[in-house]
Structure 1
Amino acid sequence: MKRWFVFLFLPLFVVLSGCGVYSFTGATIEGKTINIHVMENRAMNVVPSLTSTLTDKIRSRILSQTGLAPVTTDNADYDISGAVTGYNVTVSGVQNTQQATQNRLTITIDVTFKNKLNEKANFNQSFSRFADFPATSSLQSVETSLINDIGAQLADDIFNKAFVNW
């Protein structure tokens, strides 16, 4: 019985271990290094910590899920750069009395991804995410939390586009 088990699963193990580019996140990683540039701020509204927070979220998501080594040189296998192009607060909910009940913070970033190992995977794309907050709260009181939540969503979107090929 044990020999049958070994003969059945040994070839499967050899095939899967030989692939080398698959991870349990579904990501396809062929390279070893990545250069993640600090996001620029081109939005009309400027929040001092915004670009560093977004860059850190993207860097954390990619490095924790891929095992890539971060570098700051132009000869990295992957290169990500971008800019915050939108940081807007709008009304997202209104009562019968025409009074705002909810506001929405929307952050938009344009990202350029270069894959030096497979140029067909290169992209330049805009990503946008939002989070709602009560109109009774000031933006300043919820801003840090909203930026963290939206940043995590944007980091997931960028990771999926760059490495998961969904």
Structure 2
Amino acid sequence: MKKTFYTISIFLLLISTQSCGIYSFGGVTLHEDVKTVQIDYFPNNAPLIEPTLSQQFTLALQDIFISQTNLDLVKSDGDIIFEGEITGYRINPMTATADQTAAQNRLTITVNVRYYNKYEEEKEFEQTFSFFHDYDAQAQLTGSILDDAFSVIFERITQDIFNASVAQW
């Protein structure tokens, strides 16, 4: 009886400690050898230039990987690499008032992303991500209104990039 108990205990211990080569951290599925992430600067190549857009977007993308994974952020030779450019920054009127003026404007930001994975090349991609934020047409897109728009748009785009690359959603 004791021998059977010890055999079952050892078997359960072996099964519970054995790794399948992939780990999951908050929905993240990466090869066990992936330890670093490199996120290059995303230049603004859009026809309309917002001076702080590139830096703020790059930092937002870095922040999501720092906060949602245990990967180390490196400047070069990362196990997974993100590079790309901001390809669209546009403001369009969305809804009209009775006197034919805009009641709301929409800021849309589009980013082209290239994802490289040193250990799982079949998961690499180049893809465009885009999102928008509507704001009152009477307001100027500066200060806190611009910050709020960037916050909403960056949260969505960076989460979409995160999901497409390491969460595999």
Give the TM-score of the pair, scaled to structure 1.
Answer: 0.86
Match of 1:123 in 2: 125
Match of 1:139 in 2: 141
Aligned residues: 159
RMSD over aligned Cα, in angstroms? 2.3
- Provide the rounded CA distance (Å) in 1 between the counterparts of 2:69 and 2:116: 16
Q: Which amino acid aligns with 1:146?
A: A
Give the TM-score of the pair, scaled to structure 2.
Answer: 0.85
- Provide the rounded CA distance (Å) in 2 between the counterparts of 1:61 and 1:16: 29
Match of 1:3 in 2: none
Q: Which amino acid aligns with 1:25?
A: G
Gaps of 5+ in 1: 1-6
Over residues 66-116 of structure 1, what are the superposed CA-to-partner deviations in whole Å (9 max), with x where a residue is unaligned?
A: 11111122x321010010010000011112332211100000000000011
Match of 2:85 in 1: 83
| Higher RCO structure (Cα 8 Å, ≥6 apart) | 1
- From 154, 157, 165, the equivalent of 1:162 is 165
What is the correspondence of 1:84-103 to structure 2 with a 5 Å cutoff? 84-103=86-105
Contact between 1:102 and 1:134, CA under 8 Å: does it hold in 2?
Answer: yes
Q: Which amino acid aligns with 2:151?
A: N
1:23 CA displacement: 2.8
Over residues 30-76 of structure 1, what are the superposed CA-to-partner deviations in whole Å (9 max), with x where a residue is unaligned?
A: 20111110111101111111111101111010121111111122x32
Match of 1:21 in 2: 22
Contact between 1:115 and 1:122, CA under 8 Å: does it hold in 2?
Answer: yes
- Provide the rounded CA distance (Å) in 1 between the counterparts of 2:13 and 2:27: 18
Q: Percent identity?
A: 34
Contact between 1:53 and 1:148, CA under 8 Å: does it hold in 2?
Answer: no
Cα distance 1:16–1:26, how it changes in 2: closer, same or farther (>3 A)?
farther
Q: Which amino acid aligns with 2:86?
A: V
Does 1:108 pair with 2:136? no
Q: Which amino acid aligns with 1:29?
A: L
Cα distance 1:16–1:165, how it changes in 2: closer, same or farther (>3 A)?
farther
